[in-house]
Chain A
Amino acid sequence: MDAVTLYHWEPNANSGKPMLALMEKGVPFSSHYIDMLQFDQHKPEYLAINPQGTIPAMTHNADGQRRVLTESTAIMEYVNDRFDGPDLMPADAQDRWRVRWWMKFMDQWLGPSFSMIGWSVFVGPMVRQRDPAELAAAIDRIPLPERRVAWRKAINGDFSESEMAESRRRVGLGIAKLEEELGKRPYVGSNQYSLADINIFNSTYSLPLSQPDLAGKDKTPNIMRWLKRVYMRDAVKKTWAMGKTDLANRYGLIMAEIEA
């Protein structure tokens, strides 16, 4: 049996974080694609792995045990700590603090706003075309009550105007702060490529396409320079080649623009 199995959706947002971290470390893993738009993550086979029904999840067979790990940022930290390969955390304690700070800022403040916008324009419309009874049954199978609420809102297009306005405010502010940060140093939080770059790249790799009014060559030159630096990495190219939906196509469009 493979030592590491990763259960993931697209190389995008949370799923892309452990995919790219494993790829950067050179850790071989068995890839198990969970089609979020088909609600694979709430099916019994997957709930047997992660009863919370959230993706990604990773299993690691080691020391005679099979460990199940969840939460994308925490999985990345485990991958970096546990396996050989390039260190994806800086050595200096203050740099390490900054890397963690930026990851929390993305995971808990900015990310949910990106996600709300992404779900309202992408995930919601994709699944909304299905049979309503099938969708209702799919939602009823979601283990976490707060995820049930989130899915219902996405499918019904129920995000209120004030919720969306707040998400847009946060995205605008978050992009401005990231631009400022990348004017101070070449990578997020430190002078080396780290877990913070992997984390934030996964939610910002298509910014020039998804938020053209806020990000691009003229408006956010520091972000564009950083995106280019990260896009050029072999591990990033290999990871995005694993994508199956239109999201991976957006990667190709940006890459073409960067290389032009």
Chain B
Amino acid sequence: MSAVLYHGEPNGASLTVLAALAQSGLDIECRSIDLLAGERHALPDIADPIALDLCIEGEGPVLVIGGEAMTESVFLAQYFDEAADGAGLQPADAYARWEMMMWCRQITERLSPAAALLGNLATSQHAIAAIPADGFATLSARIVSDDLRQRWQALNDDVVDAAQVADSETKVTAAVERCEKQLSDGRDWLMGVFSIADLVTYSWLAGMQILRPDAFAAAPRTTAWLARTADQPCVTAALGRSTVSEPLRAWAPGPEINRWG
């Protein structure tokens, strides 16, 4: 069956999935798309769009297999690992897998909306706000999800919510502290063995080193782990797909901030 992975610059959700694909060794065609031009909302040949229309993580990559649009970076990473009959991205033990999934959920629910908000304000809000009104109307009309369209609209309107910025900075700091604690026993990888947890955490945290360096000032183990992860061949391969000089500065509207509890 035909399979195509549509992805943005290797950062955030796209970085996780590109690295997992490289690790799996699967031969799947990758097509780079311009997320900030809204290209993710005009993909060809999609017969089953629900996972694209209602994707929770925002402008993440889309894997199209047999006309079905598949989304959510953690699950796509699991898909590649399992479709390759085990590429070493998920621990074999059930309890270790539970720990990995709990970790990934913490990252995708708490860190990734925060990182996406700070990243977009720093690097993409200006570009989105500069889209001419008629062009933006065309783009936003293609976005099926009302809540994702609102996140685009807030960037287009140049809205900055100081409380959200402060909350996001707190969440980035909390994620760094969590990593530092996890690595405190001297382990190389977050779950002991290299896993999807390293890919997901690196993908949302590495760009924060550039934008919020202070959050890493007292975190030598996390800083060393980020460098170690960047040197992994699958991560290097994913970053090598970049079409810009600094992919970790490339952001697009991300997951929504938890609306209740």
Contact with B along A176-200 (1 / 0, CB 8 A): 0100110000000000000000000
CB within 8 A of A146: which of B68, B75, B76, B261?
Answer: B261
The answer to whether A37 has its CB under 8 Å from any CB of chain B is: no
The answer to whether B79 has its CB under 8 Å from any CB of chain A is: yes
Contact with A along B141-183 (1 / 0, CB 8 A): 0000010000000000000000000000000000000000000
Residues of B within 8 A of A25 (CB): none
Residues of B within 8 A of A173 (CB): 54
Given contacts A78-B97, A82-B94, A180-B50, contact A96 B261 (CB under 8 A): no
Residues of A within 8 A of B75 (CB): 97, 100-101, 104
- B68-A96 in contact (CB<8A): no
Residues of A within 8 A of B245 (CB): none
A74 to B70, CA, bound (A): 21
Residues of B within 8 A of A77 (CB): 97-98, 101
A108 to B110, CA, bound (A): 12
Most buried by A among B56, B75, B78, B98: B98
A98 to B94, CA, bound (A): 20
The answer to whether B130 has its CB under 8 Å from any CB of chain A is: no
The answer to whether B258 has its CB under 8 Å from any CB of chain A is: yes
**CB proximity to B under 8 Å, residues A64-115:** 67, 69-71, 74-75, 77-78, 81-82, 93-94, 96-98, 100-101, 104-105, 108-109, 112, 115
Range class of the A interface residue count: 35 or more
- B94-A97 in contact (CB<8A): no
CB distance from A129 to the nearest CB of B (A): 22
The answer to whether B59 has its CB under 8 Å from any CB of chain A is: no
A interface SS class: helix
Contact with A along B70-93 (1 / 0, CB 8 A): 111001101100110000000000
- How many B residues face the partner with a CB closer than 8 A? 28
Contact with A along B232-261 (1 / 0, CB 8 A): 000000000000000000000000001111
- A112-B51 in contact (CB<8A): no
CB within 8 A of B68: which of A70, A74, A94, A180?
Answer: A94
A31 to B122, CA, bound (A): 50
- A71-B105 in contact (CB<8A): yes
A147 to B260, CA, bound (A): 8
- A109-B56 in contact (CB<8A): yes
- B78-A74 in contact (CB<8A): no
A208 to B68, CA, bound (A): 30
The answer to whether A241 has its CB under 8 Å from any CB of chain B is: no
Contact with A along B54-68 (1 / 0, CB 8 A): 101000000001001
By beta carbon, the residue of chain B nearest A62 is B95
CB distance from A170 to the nearest CB of B (A): 8
A21 to B4, CA, bound (A): 35
The answer to whether B37 has its CB under 8 Å from any CB of chain A is: no
Residues of A within 8 A of B54 (CB): 105, 109, 173, 177
- B261-A104 in contact (CB<8A): no
- B261-A78 in contact (CB<8A): no
Residues of B within 8 A of A116 (CB): 260
- B259-A112 in contact (CB<8A): yes
- A169-B146 in contact (CB<8A): yes
CB distance from B131 to the nearest CB of A (A): 26
A94 to B101, CA, bound (A): 18
A150 to B259, CA, bound (A): 10
A173 to B260, CA, bound (A): 18
The answer to whether B102 has its CB under 8 Å from any CB of chain A is: yes
- A181-B70 in contact (CB<8A): no
- A108-B109 in contact (CB<8A): yes
**CB proximity to B under 8 Å, residues A36-67:** 67
Residues of B within 8 A of A126 (CB): none
By beta carbon, the residue of chain A nearest B150 is A166
Residues of B within 8 A of A74 (CB): 98, 101-102, 105
The answer to whether A149 has its CB under 8 Å from any CB of chain B is: yes
Contact with B along A143-183 (1 / 0, CB 8 A): 00011011000000000000100100100010001001100
Most buried by A among B50, B71, B94, B261: B261
Q: Can you list 30 A-B contacts (CB < 8 A)? A: A67-B95, A70-B102, A71-B102, A74-B105, A78-B95, A78-B97, A78-B98, A81-B94, A81-B97, A93-B79, A93-B83, A94-B65, A94-B68, A94-B70, A96-B82, A97-B76, A97-B78, A100-B72, A101-B70, A101-B71, A104-B72, A104-B75, A109-B56, A112-B260, A115-B260, A150-B261, A163-B259, A177-B50, A177-B54, A180-B50
Interface residues of B, Cβ cutoff 8 Å to A: 50-51, 54, 56, 65, 68, 70-72, 75-76, 78-79, 82-83, 94-95, 97-98, 101-102, 105, 109, 146, 258-261
Q: A81-B98, A101-B51 are in contact. List 8 more A-B contacts (CB 8 A).
A: A69-B95, A78-B97, A93-B83, A97-B78, A101-B70, A108-B109, A146-B258, A166-B259
